[in-house]
Structure 1
Amino acid sequence: MPDTIEIATADYERFIAAACAIAEPELEKLVKATIASLRDMDAVGLFGDTAARHLWDEYCWQLQEGPYDDDDCGFGSTSRNFDEVLDTVITGALEELPKHTLLFLSIYTRNDAGDAGDANDPENIGGISRDDIAAAVLERVGQAASRRNLDFIGPARGVVIPMEISLGGLIGEAFSHAGETSDFLSEYVDQLLAGGDDDIANISHALLERYMELLNEDEDGLLLSALRDRFEEDIRALVLEKDIRPTVEDAAGQLQWTLDEAS
């Protein structure tokens, strides 16, 4: 028995317009949900010197650089395997939708595909086609994947990323003055892409070490002057807490000990 919903046959055009108005944002939600699911899946590491962070990066890469139809890994066509993953994800998302939403999506996708005549046919108006919906989602996911700039994760990322991002603050000024920004970013580009807490900590410590070296090499005093101007209040508070107050407390303690000994 066909998967259909019975509806009244009067005023089809108004019904179709209303159905499409509801379905359009629902279709966009399905596209976003599919992409989000791929982002939640770990990268497999199929494409050599790429810095793919998740399966969405790898899907986009194979779509733009493929197709990868050879059975290089012993698991069949890579491109077809990706399509199967997407089919599974989309099918699972459709199973979560109520029937009326599936109906509206079916009407919308038939109209969107140029089959408005079929959609207006009373014999077809109530039909739900998960295949049509899935095909529409897959097409839009593919469009989004095709538009992405993948130079940031490709083999040339060490050149591309330093051209697109910068270092701010005193660190950025110091590295720019020394002409070292691009070289530093290029060295740590993969850790920047990973962006985990440990990666950020490693990069930060490396920046600090080099910044302290640049301060020691600062013959004209410009870096030290900039540091003082930017953080004078913080420096005063830090020196007071970490050096001056302990020094005064130690001196007072010495005096008390001397007085106690003298008595």
Structure 2
Amino acid sequence: MTKNVVEVNFGGLERLKAAAASAGESEMDKLVKTVIAELRSVAPYDVFEDVFARHVWDEFCWCQQEGPFMDNMESVIRSKITGVLDKLDDRTLVCLTACSRDELGEIDQDGELGVGAICIDDINLAAYQRIQEAAQGPDISIIGPHRADELGFHLVTDGVVFSELSESELSAVLAEHFEDIIDPASDLSGVANALAEGFLEQIDDESESFGLSALLGRFQSDVKTLLAEKDVLPDLKGTRAALLEALDSSV
């Protein structure tokens, strides 16, 4: 009697799993970026009185770096992950499962999760761990209670006014207008005018030249406008860009 024997090439099976995990790596990166983008679109809960959070992602980063402070934050994030996963096709979920199990070090001893299996719990956990890692990247101290002290590390001082005013003076003014400074859509002309005016007052107080004082007194409005537009505003925009880059960076 002849027996039919099926030989299984386990080497080929492992290569297939590795290929699925490799494909899942790029999908996992997309998943994490999509969830973070969604968190950046959600208004903050405003539970931290002295933290100037722009959105839920800022609050999560604050919790990860300085906390934990919010018991329900993990459930909020993982709910967002589930919402994104619900929109993905099975092929993508298969690759994400393979990637997740590799990342989590899970061993499928019972053979329940072979090639082609989908495990949403594993994907969710692996994605959450990556999001936790990403939350360590931003310089979250910028929006904390001591932001006036932190602003000095991100000043762009190419112009005359920013170079001549002390770091403490600049940081104090920027902290006062912090909401405008970190809002890319906000007009900075008011902040520029305030800094230019403060600079001219400082020159007038320190000057021993009657002629200079008279000149500034006569043309102060024109000089202030020129300084604000041509000297201060470029440094303000540069400082804003530096702050946003530090705030929106990832590991």
Preserved CA contact (<8 Å) 1:63 1:79: no
Which residue number corresponds to residue 111 of structure 1? 102
Which residue number corresponds to residue 213 of structure 1? 201
SS of equivalent residue, structure 1 residue 209 = helix
Post-superposition offset of 1:217: 5.2
Post-superposition offset of 1:144: 1.7
For residues 88-116 of structure 1, give each alpha carbon's deviation from its aligned partner in whole angstroms, at most 9, with x where no partner exists.
Answer: 21112112222111001111111222225
Q: Does 1:15 align with 2:16?
A: yes
Which residue number corresponds to residue 141 of structure 2? 151
Preserved CA contact (<8 Å) 1:51 1:193: no
The count of residues paired between Structure 1 and Structure 2 equals 201
Q: Does 1:79 align with 2:71?
A: yes
In the aligned structure 2, how far is the partner of 1:173 from the partner of 1:158?
18
Which residue number corresponds to residue 60 of structure 2? 59
For the pair shown, the structure with the greater C-alpha radius of gyration is 1
One-letter identity of the residue aligned with 2:134? A
Which residue number corresponds to residue 170 of structure 2? 184
In the aligned structure 2, how far is the partner of 1:27 from the partner of 1:155?
34
Q: TM-score, normalised by structure 1?
A: 0.66
Q: Any gaps of 5 or more consecutive residues in structure 1?
A: 1-8, 69-77, 225-234, 239-263
Q: Does 1:194 align with 2:195?
A: no
SS of equivalent residue, structure 2 residue 156 = coil
Post-superposition offset of 1:24: 0.7
Preserved CA contact (<8 Å) 1:192 1:200: yes
RMSD: 2.9
Preserved CA contact (<8 Å) 1:60 1:148: yes
In the aligned structure 1, how far is the partner of 2:50 from the partner of 2:197?
29
SS of equivalent residue, structure 1 residue 22 = helix
Which residue number corresponds to residue 154 of structure 2? 164
Q: TM-score, normalised by structure 2?
A: 0.69
One-letter identity of the residue aligned with 1:61? W
Q: In structure 2, do the counterparts of structure 1 residues 28 and 146 end up closer, same or farther at CA, with 3 Å as the change threshold?
A: same
Post-superposition offset of 1:44: 2.0
For residues 117-170 of structure 1, give each alpha carbon's deviation from its aligned partner in whole angstroms, at most 9, with x where no partner exists.
Answer: 559x48622210111101111111112223443221111111121133233223
Q: Does 1:50 align with 2:42?
A: no
One-letter identity of the residue aligned with 2:78? D
Q: Which has the higher contact order (CA 8 A, sep 6+)?
A: 2
Q: Any gaps of 5 or more consecutive residues in structure 2?
A: 1-7, 213-222, 227-251
In the aligned structure 1, how far is the partner of 2:134 from the partner of 2:113?
34
One-letter identity of the residue aligned with 1:194? I
In the aligned structure 1, how far is the partner of 2:146 from the partner of 2:45?
20
Preserved CA contact (<8 Å) 1:51 1:153: yes
Post-superposition offset of 1:56: 0.7
In the aligned structure 1, how far is the partner of 2:119 from the partner of 2:187?
46
Preserved CA contact (<8 Å) 1:19 1:107: yes
Q: Does 1:138 align with 2:128?
A: yes
